[in-house]
Amino acid sequence: MSLSHMLLIAVVVLVLFGPSKLPELGRAIGKTMREFKKGAQDLMEDVHASAPKEERKDVTPRPAPDPVSGMMLPPVAAAPERPVQQAQQAQTQQEQGTKQAAQQIPQEKPADTRRLPE
């Protein structure tokens, strides 16, 4: 609303109620607004007081029980990362071990595919 609209409403109220009734009208509107605010505040307090308080739930993971012994196992820690050089050394040792194992296995002779004369 613009200023001109508000002035027009004020003039209409002044003409309808007269200068002697305006203070009484202002007091009545003020009391009504105060009571409305108080009632709304009481209603909100009642709603908050009657609402059940939510309990906080513990959501931390628990260790899984051991199905064999029934004991609780501690959480598994991540394996530490090995440096690249250690990984390369382990790979070369594994390759050498595979070569040695292949040398120890006796070589099979190829099957004789010759035919007997008839």
> Alpha carbon 35 to chain centroid distance?
43
**Amino acid present at 3:** L
Q: How confident is the model at residue 50 (pLDDT cuts 50, 70, 90)?
A: confident
Q: What does the pLDDT read at residue 78?
A: 61
- Sketch the domain layout of the chain as residue ranges: 22-49
Q: How confident is the model at residue 41 (pLDDT cuts 50, 70, 90)?
A: very high
DSSP per residue over 78-102, as a string? Answer: PPPPPPHHHHHHHHHHHHHHHHHHH
Q: Answer yes or no: are the C-beta atoms of 65 and 58 closer than 8 Å.
A: no
- The Cα 41–Cα 35 span in angstroms is 10
Q: What is the pLDDT of residues 60-85, one digit of tens each?
A: 887 776 666 656 666 666 655 556 66
Evaluate the CA torsion angle 36, 38, 39, 40 in order and state its sign: positive
Q: What is the pTM of this model?
A: 0.35
